[in-house]
Structure 1
Amino acid sequence: MNDKLIVGKYEFNSRLIVGSGKYKDFQTTKEATLASGSELITVAIRRVNITNPNEENLLDYFKGTNIKLLPNSAGCFTAEEAITTFRLMREATGIDIIKLEVIGDAKKTLYPDVIETIKACEILKKEGFTIMAYTSDDPIIAKRLEDAGADAIMPLAAPIGSGLGIQNPYNIAFIRDAVKVPVLVDAGLGCASDASYAMELGADGILANTAIAQAQNPMAMAEAFRYATIAGRLSYQAGRIPKKPYATASSPIDGLIHF
């Protein structure tokens, strides 16, 4: 099927985005990313070296592949910090597709500060960035972010790294109905079935990091997420049967032979 994920001016064959954090080394990061089939890997530019050629550089491991970097603003707590970080990053690398995240609670939940995120989104959009915005699972905020210029909305499924899976499935569906840009479920997924479930709810894509990086076998989990994302998308497009309170026979009883 010709079913590309389109975010702003960018097109991707895979609807799975992966993260680069929490792996034991860059080589494992590369191997798991390739196993996932993803074409986009998000990188915390305040924590991972992608600009200093004198230090081990994640970019070096992905040379010769079709995988693009998606810089994110993890570690930023104000709109100003995120804006400055992305300006410096684009000047150094030329990359203009970003994952915008501004954290409001750094101690327990790592929930986003949606007010600061909207402020940063408005300014960065005017400066020509393609923006994928991490946010809470609130359809009102999702719409505000779209209005602020976000090219994709990334609602959390559960707190970052928790592995709890989707806690508010109705909210994901509400967000899908509220906005026209792609909805990519981000944060809190724990296993491949969580990805499939998110896609069956109508999500346009998935971002998974901890569930893959911290799995006992990251490469196998990455591959599982790859196929779960595809299966969930196909299931959503196929259209599930309605739920009913009672059984319905698979075969009709009309013309049944009686003994």
Structure 2
Amino acid sequence: MTTHNNTNITEKNKLTHNFQIADQIFQSRLMLGTGRYRNSDEAINSIEASKASIITVAIRRIKTLKDIGKSNLIDLINWKNLWMLPNTAGCETADEAIRIASLGIEINKQVGQSDNRFIKLEVISDSNNLLPDPIGTLKAAEYLVNKNFVVLPYIYPDPILAKQLEDIGCHAIMPLGSPIGSGQGIQNLENIKIILENAKVPIVIDAGISRASEASQAMEMGATAVLLNTAVAKSSNPTMMAEAMKLSVISGRNCYLAGIMKTQSNGYSSSPENGRLKLI
């Protein structure tokens, strides 16, 4: 009777799910946002159910550093076990994003992460469609990289821009699946595939995902991770949806690692022709 070392299998699975940005290693490939929840309890419970390692926070929602410690959501999160990813959501220009990014680093220090220089860079001048500004993003990213920020820029899935941002030193690229909060799923699949094929840094699919199957699809394509918020926060049961997203990211990653069969133009029998029982 063959026995299996379950401990070794478990450890191997852990290694395949870990990933690295800059000098930080993260256990979960699901990143979760903190906006649009109906209340703080739903947000906290969803974060716990998701088992996410990275939690993103919009810095513009915090008016001043003095607001930290006044019963806002940031104070309710246990940052000893989670990595804060401040984002510059709401910034319309490169200069504004740079100022907010600097505030984000100070907030990292306030929650006890003095070595955390991560920033999710968003520059969105289009208030109707919420599409990121490529020129403003590139300008702000170059400045922040030179100031030793770990920059994760949010972009439209443009392979050329993605490569330019990688070349100037961004540590990960975050192409959108579809516009923020739209729930349209993953659009521009061919562009995203090109980005994935050419990238030497982690690629995080961000925005537009509405259901677990879409999160799994992103991972099956070879994405490093998925970041989502509205899909969980605006579901009928955010905690349950967070768990569903956790499982779908794991499933999609396993599918990608296992190797997906090639599509065939015709049907092929799964039963062997040789040795088939012949009826007389």
User: What do the CA deviations read for 1:225-253 (whole angstroms, capped 9, x no partner)?
Assistant: 00100110010011011100111111111
Q: What CA distance in whole angstroms lies between the structure 1 residues aligned with 2:252 and 2:68? A: 40
**Residue 6 of structure 1 is aligned with which of 2, 20, 34?**
20
Matching residue of 2:216: 196
Larger Rg: 2
Instruction: Output aligned runs, 1:83-98, within 5 Å.
Output: 83-94=98-109, 95-98=116-119
**Residue 57 of structure 2 is aligned with which of 40, 43, 66?**
43
Matching residue of 1:136: 156
Change in CA separation of 1:36 and 1:115 when aligned onto 2, cut-off 3 Å: same
Q: What CA distance in whole angstroms lies between the structure 1 residues aligned with 2:39 and 2:133? A: 30
Q: Which moved more, 1:30-39 or 1:88-97?
A: 88-97
**Residue 55 of structure 1 is aligned with which of 67, 70, 88?**
70
**Residue 239 of structure 2 is aligned with which of 216, 219, 230?**
219
Matching residue of 2:33: 19
Q: Which amino acid aligns with 1:241?
A: M
Q: What CA distance in whole angstroms lies between the structure 2 residues aligned with 1:190 and 1:65? A: 29
Q: Is the 8 A contact 1:49 1:55 kept in 2?
A: no
User: What do the CA deviations read for 1:10-50 (whole angstroms, capped 9, x no partner)?
Assistant: 11000000000100122211110110010111111001468
Q: Does the alignment pair 1:183 with 2:209? A: no
Matching residue of 2:126: 105
Q: Is the 8 A contact 2:105 2:118 kept in 1?
A: no
Change in CA separation of 1:194 and 1:92 when aligned onto 2, cut-off 3 Å: closer
Q: Does the alignment pair 1:79 with 2:100? A: no
User: What do the CA deviations read for 1:25-81 (whole angstroms, capped 9, x no partner)?
Assistant: 222111101100101111110014683146332222113651121100001011110
Q: Does the alignment pair 1:172 with 2:192? A: yes
Q: What CA distance in whole angstroms lies between the structure 1 residues aligned with 2:269 and 2:125? A: 52
Q: What CA distance in whole angstroms lies between the structure 2 residues aligned with 1:171 and 1:74? A: 24
Q: Is the 8 A contact 2:84 2:108 kept in 1?
A: no
Which sections of structure 2, spanning at least 5 residues, go unmatched? Answer: 1-12, 110-115
**Corresponding pairs, count:** 258
Q: Which amino acid aligns with 2:87?
A: N
Q: Is the 8 A contact 1:50 1:59 kept in 2?
A: no
Q: Is the 8 A contact 2:177 2:206 kept in 1?
A: yes
Runs (4+) off by over 4 Å: none
Matching residue of 2:142: 122
Give the TM-score taking structure 1 as reference length.
0.95
Q: What CA distance in whole angstroms lies between the structure 2 residues aligned with 1:9 and 1:242? A: 36
Q: What CA distance in whole angstroms lies between the structure 1 residues aligned with 2:272 and 2:175? A: 44
Q: Secondary structure at the match of 1:207?
A: strand
Q: Which moved more, 1:170-179 or 1:112-121?
A: 170-179
**Residue 241 of structure 1 is aligned with which of 252, 255, 261?**
261
Q: Which amino acid aligns with 2:238?
A: P
Q: What CA distance in whole angstroms lies between the structure 2 residues aligned with 1:93 and 1:201? A: 32
Matching residue of 2:9: none
Percentage of identical aligned residues? 44
Q: What CA distance in whole angstroms lies between the structure 2 residues aligned with 1:71 and 1:129? A: 12
Q: Displacement, 1:100? A: 0.5
Q: Which amino acid aligns with 2:120?
A: K
Q: What CA distance in whole angstroms lies between the structure 1 residues aligned with 2:97 and 2:105? A: 12
